[in-house]
Amino acid sequence: MKRIYVNEQWCLGCHLCEYECMYANSGLDEMFKLKGKAGKDILPRIYVEGGEKSPIHFAVNCRHCSGTACVNGCIAGALTKNDDGMVVIDKDKCVGCFTCVLLCPFGAIMPAADGKAAQKCMLCTDNIKGEPNCVKYCPNNAIVYEERE
Amino acid sequence: MDTFIPAEYEVVRNPDLCIGCRVCERQCANGVHKYDKDLGKMIADSNKCVNCHRCVCLCPTHALKIVKSDDTYRLNANWSMQAMNEVYRQANTGGVLLSSMGNPNDYPVYFNKILVNASQVTNPPIDPLREPMETVVYLGKKDVEIKRDIQGKLVDTMTPQLKLTTPIMFSAMSYGSISYNAHASLARAAEELGIYYNTGEGGLHKDFYKYSKNTIVQVASGRFGVHEEYLNTAAAIEIKMGQGAKPGIGGHLPGAKISEDVSRTRMIPQGVDAISPAPHHDIYSIEDLRQLIYSIKEATAYKKPVIVKVAAVHNVAAIASGIARSGADIIAVDGFRGGTGAAPTRIRDNVGIPIELALAQVDQRLREEGIRDNVSILAAGSIHSSADVVKAIALGADACYIGTSALMALGCHLCRSCQTGNCNWGIATQKPELVKRLNPDIGYKRLVNMVRAWTHEIQEMMGGMGINSIEALKGNRLMLRGIGLNETELRVLGIKHAGE
Amino acid sequence: MKYLLIGNSTAAIACIEAIRTLDKQGEITVLSKEEQFCYGRPTISYCLAGLTDREHMNYRPLDFYEKMGVSVHLGVSAESIDADKKQVKASDGKKYSYDKLLVSTGSRPFVPFAEGLDKVKNAFTFMSYDDMEALDKALSPEKEVVVIGAGLIGLKCVEGIFDRVKKVTVVDLATRVMPSVTEEESAAMIQSFLEKKGVEFVLGDCAASYTENSVTLKSGKTLSFDILVTAAGVRANTSLIADIGGKVNRGILVNTRQQTSIPDIYAAGDCTEGYDSSIGADRVLALMPNAYLQGKTAGLNMAGGDSEYKDAIPLNAVGFFGLHMLSAGVYEGEIIKVKDENKLKLLFVKDNVLKGFILINDFLRAGIYTSLVRGKTPLDGVDFDMLVEAPQLLAFPAEARAAKLSRRA
């Protein structure tokens, strides 16, 4: 299965991925319409680590890992691992207890902007982009979508 | 107090499109953009902008553009704003003006005044998609003497040759002037394309020895990084006598750019300015040059072709004639528009001659003297496109060096600020946070794309002329016509005017 | 291979999923006392508040049992085990035989006895969907409610009913809210938040006697109510194992392979008492993530695998009216405190490891802390100052970080 991997060596800490993520999941038809909404009405599902002064940056989003701590701990059965090995959240089932936030060792699942449910990367299969927008627009191949196993 | 010099360019932000993602701010090493908390929006200081377009390219909503400032002094056809500003700058600093990349001034570009022929009816064009179209070129001495042994068998007298799959090579750019990642990109692309890149006078980083089959190493006046293994590992050795961007002067790499890695590669002390002298202190004649050529050949067991690179200057044809007799295998002629990582502005903008004229004269002279086959000729100094390659070959080159266009494939937008070491594209810098912006995985593919595209275009143009190999195009000036050129220019170029 | 599972909640579902990773053929039978299709038990409070509904509470898709090849008997409880014959006698009068048995019987509400309790007509507990449904029918805007118990269940119940009744008063013998997962400061913060919402608390007190519509506390204070909810804790359902001489303490004793003291009988979930790595001893950890991992471990071992669950720790994520508290581990050692107006971060450090933490309203990426607690990661091997600032992978050495980001960790 193709998955998102990060190449720390090439991450510039530009945070474009966060905005591309928000755009992809906003349902908006133009990116500039994120104006005033980004970071408020919609939050990224990918997070760039490393502050402005840090020499190291890398983006973290759901690893769709084998441990699936979030799935195991979900009190509502809202998180599942599908047949493709992708960890999927059903936001209608999620009650927003954030046990998953407590369990994810990558810090890759977070409350959605409304605070009522969790959100996580679903590799852009849940929006019209179809494949990871963060990868597509990473200017330096610091995030890649590929088969490694 | 310094005289304020207004910004030449203005950063214009479309407030309707800006989403405040601050990518521009994070990507500008010159500190142009910043988020202003008081105003709650992004602002820009155009005075710091070098117009490298990094922010424009990375802005996800295309909210930015950079425009020529319309601030003006009282109009003066004699004193241009630039000329005036340069006076102010020098009055402020007392320093020699520094610039980089190639001469940007409005001198004629002869390639743009030369038209290429095509076949019609009597000798049909060739479709390169259906028929073979040879772009392979061998560079080196083409020994015309045929020797046989006592049995009458042919003796192989062929001197070493460089095989190029297409008549394009990456010109000399040192590690120091450009980044590790830029070098890695060039080296990998050269390997994939079956061509060569050139270390410049920066030595060869240990990491790049694996690309040695596609590496040309340089021996220049500072002799930085030169040692036996360096010479023997390369595919060819280039003696740099001069450079088109700054003929007649040497080089100066500021100590600040001499990182530990650069220091090790160049075999010079860290943090101390590296001065390449204007002349080679052991070369004051063709005979001296010949000594160096043969020293290098001895050191490399006569297995490597030796290139001598000279800047295109007024008497370049006579110089080339000397070089062709000196034992060099290849002559590289670098026109006055060639790029550099740093040069005094006056030199860059006022010294040397166009490559088109120099090339035509060198080829002509060597032919007249019957020594054209002693050497191959490399043309350099602002080859913009495949069409320029075709024209250069028809004017007499065996192949072309490209530098500026290669850097552009890597992201360079010709802001001509290489000398600051703050290259936002990760090319002309040694700052780790900037160097990492150029991922060679991307860079080498873009170089490969560009050279492959050019090669396709070269094949198309040759096919149109009914020519199916570079060899048949070389020096074939009948395929060229001048347009809007005067008698002298046509004579120097050795071509007829269009319509003739 | 015949697998028999008693219980139909998290541990049992996890067990089924684990068995099927190793054994696609074996016969799996589930006996469920509840008539409900498996549901996320803690979601009942959200249902009460109208934040979810029965359909969305399903813990697994409706075709789960069919896909997993499981025969489910809803509304059938297990009455006794015959370990020699490897049979379970059930309430439907049938005997179910097994090769491997899982006891995941969960727990039941503990209702402290007090005089007159039997006179209270509108008395509820808050443990199951049926409990919730019964309470739901009793709620109306003019009613006053007394909740006995300021623990997790009691307070979640308060959240569920608060907007649907006139008044809610919470009584607990403990002097602070959620005593099992808080310390003084965090408890005070939560209590004050809930009090501002309008919830009343009577702490350090307990019911002495009841009438039909009132409770008199030990202190002499009397509270009237229309509805009484008792959420004063739970007791593990251990009798099936205790009755046949299996080792039982506060819960059914299990080893790290989830085996009980009786051959071929496994136990998982709230009914068990197993190894808690945070204290290095056995105790009941009646928590959903724990139930899942125990069930999974049991399932793997039952199906012939070899699995141990050695890193169980206390874990709680709880929210009330938009306030969130996430916590893990134990609260001992040096306290590192970061406090803001309505945010609190408490990190407990001892012997060069993060022993536990409490985060209120400042919980983004808390799982990174959890991984430190669970993994007992030596803090001198990470940039702990950076971690105190915010949980981040950057604080780990490059190699550890690379391993984590490779998605295998």
- Does residue B109 register a pLDDT over 50? yes
Helices B286-299 & B316-324 angle (0-180, nearest 10)? 40
- Does C357 touch chain A if contact means CB atoms closer than 8 Å? no
Q: Is A72 on the interface with B (CB under 8 A)?
A: no
pLDDT along chain C (409 residues), means of 10: 97 97 96 95 94 94 96 96 97 97 97 93 95 95 96 95 96 95 96 97 95 95 96 96 96 97 97 96 94 98 97 95 96 96 96 97 97 96 96 95 75
Q: Mutate which of C365, C369, C389 to test chain A, going by most A C-beta atoms within 10 A?
A: C365
Neighboring chain A residues of B23 at a CB cutoff of 8 Å: 14-16, 19
Q: Could you tell me if C62 lies within 8 Å of chain A, comparing CB atoms?
A: no
Whole-angstrom distance, CA of residue B388 vs CA of residue B335: 13
Q: Which of B163, B158, B167 is nearest to B138 (CA)?
A: B163
Which residue among B17, B27, B432 places its CB closest to the CB of A32?
A: B17
Residue C334 lies inside a defined structural domain of this protein? yes
Show the tokens assigned to B351.
């010294």
The boundaries of the domain holding residue C200 are: 117-232
> Where on the phi/psi map is residue B280: left (φ > 0), alpha (ψ -120 to 50), or beta?
beta
**Are C136 and C164 in the same domain?**
yes
- Chain C interface mutation, best of A81, A102, A114, highest count of C Cβ atoms under 10 Å: A102
- Tell me: do C154 and C198 sit in the same domain: yes
Domain B9-95 = CATH 1.10.580.10: no
Q: Is the pLDDT of residue B429 over 50?
A: yes
Residues 6+ apart with CB under 8 A from B319: B310, B313
The CATH code belonging to domain A62-120 is 3.30.70.20
Chain B positions in Cβ-Cβ contact with residue A144 (cut-off 8 Å): none
DSSP B417: -
> Rounded to an integer, what distance in angstroms lies between the CA atom of residue B438 and that of residue B446?
11
Which residue among A10, A18, A38 sits closest to B436, beta carbon to beta carbon?
Answer: A10
Q: Chain C residues with CB inside 8 Å of A65's CB?
A: 407-409
Rounded to 5°, angle at Cα C322 from C316 and C326: 20
Which among B363, B366, B318, B310 has a CA at the least distance from the CA of B338? B310
Which helix (H) or strand (E) segment is C296 a member of? helix C288-302
Residue B413, both tokens? 């937008």
The answer to whether C108 faces chain A, any CB pair under 8 Å, is no
Shortest distance between the Cα of C380 and any Cα of chain A, in A, equals: 19
Q: How far is CA A50 from the centre of its chain?
A: 17
Mean pLDDT, range B227-243, rounded to an integer: 97
Measured between alpha carbons, how far is C371 from C315 in angstroms, rounded to an integer?
11
* Domain B9-95 and domain B137-497 have a common topology: no
Tokens 């008199």 — which residue?
A: C216
CB contact under 8 A, A19 and B19: yes
Q: What is the mean pLDDT of residues B276-302?
A: 96
- Tokens encoding C164: 């649907």
Q: Measuring CA to CA, which residue among B253, B251, B283 is closest to residue B265?
A: B253
Place of tokens 């690179």: B309
In chain C, residues 264-293 whose CB comes closer than 8 Å to chain A: 288-289, 292-293
Give A-chain residues touching B431 at CB under 8 angstroms.
Answer: none
- Contact call for A101 and C326, based on CB within 8 A: yes
At C408 the pLDDT is 55
A and C touch per CB criterion (3+ pairs under 8 A): yes
Q: How far apart are CA C331 and CA C278, in angstroms?
A: 10
CA dist C115 → C122, C128, C218, C233 (Å): 16, 25, 12, 19
The token pair that represents C386 in the structure block = 């950076």
Min CA distance, B419 vs chain A (Å)? 23
Q: How far apart are CA C224 and CA C230, in angstroms?
A: 15
Identify whether residues C228 and C263 lie together within a single domain: no
Select the residue of B20, B23, B436 nearest A16 (Cβ to Cβ).
Answer: B23
Under 8 Å CB pairs connecting chains A and C tally to 134
Mean pLDDT of B38-49: 95
Residue that is last in its domain, among C191, C207, C232:
C232
Q: In what order do the strands lie in the sheet with C252-253?
A: C252-253, C272-276, C281-283
Question: Helices marked H in C34-150 — which ranges?
Answer: 44-48, 54-57, 64-68, 129-138
Q: How crowded is residue C198: how many other Cβ atoms within 10 Å of its Cβ? A: 10
Q: Which residues pair with B130 in a beta bridge?
A: none
The contact set of A with C (CB < 8 A) is: 3, 5-6, 8, 47, 49-50, 54, 56, 58, 60, 63-67, 69, 72-77, 92-93, 95-107, 109-111, 115-116
Burial B259-281 (b: 16+ CB within 10 A, else e): bebbbebbebeeeeebebeeebe
Kind and range of the H or E element at C351?
none
Domain with residue C391: its CATH number is: 3.30.390.30
Q: What is the mean pLDDT of residues B122-146?
A: 91
Mean pLDDT on A95-105: 96
What is the SS3 assignment for C324? strand
Same domain, C367 and C222: no
- Give the one of C58, C366, C407 whose C-beta lies nearest to A101's C-beta: C366
CA distance A73 to chain C (A): 4
Q: Which candidate, A56, A34, A19, A33, places its Cα nearest to that of A139? A: A19
Q: How many structural domains is chain C composed of? A: 3
Distance from CA of C406 to the nearest CA of A (A): 7
Q: Across the interface, do B437 and A16 touch by the CB < 8 Å criterion?
A: no
Q: C384 and C330: one domain?
A: yes
Distance in Å, alpha carbon of A21 to nearest chain C alpha carbon: 18
More confident: C408 or B158: B158
Q: Which of C394, C406, C409 sits opposite A54 (nearest CB)?
A: C394
| SS3 of residue C320 by DSSP | strand
Q: Which of A7, A32, A140 sits opposite B19 (nearest CB)?
A: A32
CA–CA dist B228, B307 (Å, integer): 17
Say if CB B123 and CB B403 are below 8 A apart.
no
Does residue B48 contact residue B87 with C-beta atoms inside 8 Å?
no
Instruction: Kindly state the tokens that stand for B159.
Output: 């001197």
Yes or no, beta carbons of A75 and C42 under 8 Å apart:
yes
B455-474 residue pLDDT tens: 999 999 999 999 999 999 99
CB contact under 8 A, C317 and A97: yes
Cβ of A115 and C322 within 8 Å? yes
Residue B118 in 3-state DSSP?
coil
Ramachandran sector of residue C306 (left: φ over 0; alpha: ψ -120 to 50; beta: rest): beta
Whether C40 and A67 lie within 8 Å, measured CB to CB: no
Classify B83 as helix, strand or coil. Answer: helix
Instruction: List chain A domain ranges.
Output: 1-61+123-149, 62-120
Closest by Cβ to A73, choosing from C288, C363, C368: C288
What's the complex ipTM? 0.96
Of the candidates A9, A13, A31, which has its C-beta nearest B60's C-beta?
A31
- Same-domain pairing of C56 and C159: no
Among 3.40.50.2000, 3.30.930.10, 3.40.228.10, 3.20.20.70, name the CATH number for the domain at B137-497: 3.20.20.70
Which other chains touch chain A, taking contact as 3+ CB pairs less than 8 Å apart? B, C
The model's pTM: 0.93
Q: Does B63 touch chain A (CB under 8 A)?
A: yes
C314 within some domain: no
Search chain B and give the residue with CA nearest A12: B437
Q: What is the CATH number of domain A1-61+123-149?
A: 3.30.70
Q: Which two tokens stand for residue C75?
A: 């509304």
Phi-psi region of B145 (alpha: psi -120 to 50; beta: other; left: phi over 0): beta
Q: How far apart are CA A138 and CA A15, in angstroms?
A: 9
Q: Nearest Cβ partner of A15 from B16, B23, B432?
A: B23
Angle between helices C152-162 and C129-138 (to 10 degrees): 40
pLDDT of residue A1 exceeding 90, the answer is no
The residue written with tokens 């701590």 in the block is: A69
Identify the CA nearest to B451 among candidates B159, B121, B210, B214: B214
Q: B-chain residues within 8 Å CB-CB of A140?
A: 436-439, 442
**Who contacts B121 (Cβ-Cβ below 8 Å, separation ≥6)?**
none
Question: In this complex, do B21 and A15 lie within 8 Å of one another by their Cβ atoms?
Answer: yes
Cβ neighbors of B374 (< 8 A, separation 6 or more) are B141, B324, B325, B366
Least Cα separation, residue C135 to chain A (angstroms): 20
Question: Are both C343 and C363 inside the same structural domain?
Answer: yes
Burial class (CB in 10 A: 0-12, 13-18, 19+), C248: buried
Q: Look up residue B62 and give its two tokens.
A: 């295309």
Q: In whole angstroms, what is the distance from residue C268 CA to residue C293 CA?
A: 9
Domain contains C112? no
B382: left (phi over 0), alpha (psi -120 to 50) or beta: left
Q: Once rounded to an integer, what is the mean pLDDT over residues B128-152? A: 91
Do A62-120 and A1-61+123-149 have the same topology in CATH? yes
How much is the pLDDT for C409?
A: 42
Mean pLDDT of A24-34: 96
Residue type at position B380: A
B437 vs A: CB within 8 A: yes
Residues forming a β-bridge with C90: C78
Selecting from C59, C289, C408 the residue whose C-beta is nearest the C-beta of A72 gives C289
- CATH (domain of C71): 3.50.50.60
How far apart CA C274 and CA C251 sit, in angstroms, is 8
For residues B287, B228, B401 and B418, what is the CA-based torsion angle, rounded to 10 degrees? -110
> What's the burial of C289, exposed, middle or buried (CB within 10 Å: 0-12/13-18/19+)?
buried
Of A3, A102, A107, Cβ closest to residue C326:
A102
> How does pLDDT run across B353-385, given as a tens digit for each residue?
999 999 999 999 999 999 999 999 999 999 999
